Amino acid sequence: MKSEQLYTRAKKVMPGGVNSPVRFYDPYPFFATSARGSRITTADHKTYLDFCMGYGAMILGHGYPSVIEAAKSQLENGTLFCVPTEREIKLAEMINKVVPSAEMTRLVNTGSEATMHAIRLARAFTKRKDVVKFAGGYHGAHDYVLAKAGSGAASLPACEGVLEEAAAHTHVVPYNDPASLEREIEKNKSSTACVIIEPVLANIGLVAPEKGYLNEVRKITEQNDVLLIFDEVVTGFRLALGGAAEFFGIKPDLSTFAKAIGNGFPIAAITGRREVMQQLAPAGNVYQASTFAGNPVSVAAATAALGTLVEGKNAIYPQIARMCDNIVDGIKDMLSAAKLECAVNSIGSMFQVFFTPEKVKDEASARKSDAANFRRLFDELIKRDIFIPPSQFETCFVSYAHNEDDADKTIEAYGEAFRRIKK
Ligand SMILES: Cc1ncc(COP(=O)(O)O)c(C=O)c1O
């Protein structure tokens, strides 16, 4: 097996053989060579139907032609200028137009960078230090946000090396529980700068907000003059063109984006209220900077991706949501047929199965899922050429490239997997 050989080589030169922890699974991950549409191909010449989709980045599918074309034509004209370009203005104008709460935009490279600087900005604006986050919420790999974090961090007891002094300013409350948030802010009213939330938790499996919950979060933060940061790295440009802010009709003070904005190119953004955003240097005194910010290739790709999403809004969003609903309905039928009681959570184009009969509404209930059964699900699916993220604490993503045949094949594979698990 080529992937096995590659992994043996990789382990010698890269910690754990991978460049991001969730990419590893026992005994070794497959190594990819190419991807097109809804399919990813491996070094072992196998092709899988992909529901990882770059952890949500590939909303239009792998290798979407207009995005690739835009990037290619930029390659001919230069790959890094480190001076401003007109296209950056165009992209910021597009983002500000479609994201309900975006009055200004700063482009960065990754989601982690976006949340780190959004939090610094909130601290500077409010002149307060504390941050409230939610158990199971993942906002990147930096010191401010690793407490009780989801994604790969959910599998570590605690992250060593995080500054205790920084972590002490991060308070964690349960998701979908407005009373806990209210109590936390009440307790630390004079020191709380911001609340950062994934409007839909997508890094502890998938957990949607209960009806009215995000309105409560907005009300509590507003009443206490605490800034609300929507971390829309997953939901942005996916749940709706204007992300969760549009989908739920809520205006946060700041928002962070990555993933779908570039359909696979490294680009991210911080957006928000003008008076807050204007604190960023050189307009204000909050230092945020990056050599690669506004990279011309990524900006060209993102402008094309966002352009496609804007133009195709009325076709793309209903199609990916319908496709996801079909898959989820089929999975639920297969679960009943196999007499397995599982929670299946979904919203928009995202879904996840939890091996627990209980409703999954927060981190604590997500952790009740039987991890061994999830691992069997992953193994059974991959045998049937379906690739889902290799962790219970991730989400499956449907893209514009997934079609009816893909959905049927997926439902069939889940059905066979459930029957094997039940035995
Ligand atoms: C909600 C959320 N915020 C932030 C991040 C960090 O983004 P990045 O991996 O681009 O640093 C992620 C990554 O998965 C995420 O899902």
pLDDT digits (tens, 9 = 90+) for 206-230: 999 999 999 999 999 999 999 999 9
74 with 297: CB under 8 angstroms?
Answer: yes
| pLDDT at residue 96 greater than cutoff 90 | yes
Q: Where in the chain is the domain with CATH 3.40.640.10?
A: 65-311
> Is the CB–ligand 1 distance for residue 110 below 6 Å?
yes
Do 360 and 345 meet the contact criterion of CB atoms below 8 Å apart? yes
Helix (H, G, I), strand (E, B) or coil at 413: helix
* pLDDT at residue 167, rounded to an integer: 86
Is the per-residue pLDDT at 157 higher than 80? no
pLDDT attached to residue 232 = 98
Residue 222's contacts (CB-CB under 8 Å, 6 or more residues apart) are 228
User: Per the structure block, which two tokens stand in for 22?
Assistant: 């969730």
User: For residue 45, what is the DSSP state?
Assistant: S
Is the pLDDT assigned to residue 418 strictly greater than 90?
A: yes
Task: Given the residues 138, 144, 175, 414, select the one marked as catalytic.
Answer: 138
b/e burial code for range 108-136 (CB count within 10 A of at least 16 → b): bbbbbbbbbbbbbbbbbbbebebbbbbbb
Q: Is 151 in the pocket of ligand 1 (CB under 6 A)?
A: yes
Over residues 244-257, the mean pLDDT reads: 98
**38-61+313-422 placed in CATH 3.90.1150.10:** yes
| Residues contacting residue 306 through CB under 8 Å, at least 6 positions apart | 91, 94, 95, 98, 237, 261
Any ligand 1 atom below 6 A from CB of 133: no
371-383 helix and 404-422 helix, angle to the nearest 10 degrees: 130
pLDDT band, residue 65 (cuts 50/70/90): very high
What confidence score (pLDDT) does residue 95 get? Answer: 98
> From CA 120, how far away is CA 275, in angstroms rounded?
15
Give me the DSSP letters along 189-204.
TTTEEEEEE-SSB-SS
pLDDT digits (tens, 9 = 90+) for 98-139: 999 999 999 999 999 999 999 999 999 999 999 999 999 999
User: Among all chains, which residue has been given the structure tokens 């506004």?
Assistant: 294
Confidence of residue 255 (pLDDT cuts 50, 70, 90): very high
Write out the two tokens for 363: 């981190």
Q: Is 11 a catalytic residue?
A: no
pLDDT at 414 over 80: yes
| Type of residue numbered 345 | N
Please check the confidence at residue 423 and state whether its pLDDT lies above 90: no
Binned at pLDDT 50, 70 and 90, residue 333 comes out as very high
Based on the residue annotation, tell me whether 231 is a catalytic residue of this protein.
Answer: yes
- Compute the distance from residue 390 Cα to the ligand 1 centre, in Å: 17
Q: Model's pTM, two decimal places?
A: 0.97
Which CATH code fits 65-311? Answer: 3.40.640.10
Closest ligand 1 atom number to CA of residue 109: 10
Cβ 234 under 6 angstroms from ligand 1: yes
Q: Does position 151 have pLDDT exceeding 90, yes or no?
A: no
Chain centroid offset of residue 233 CA: 5
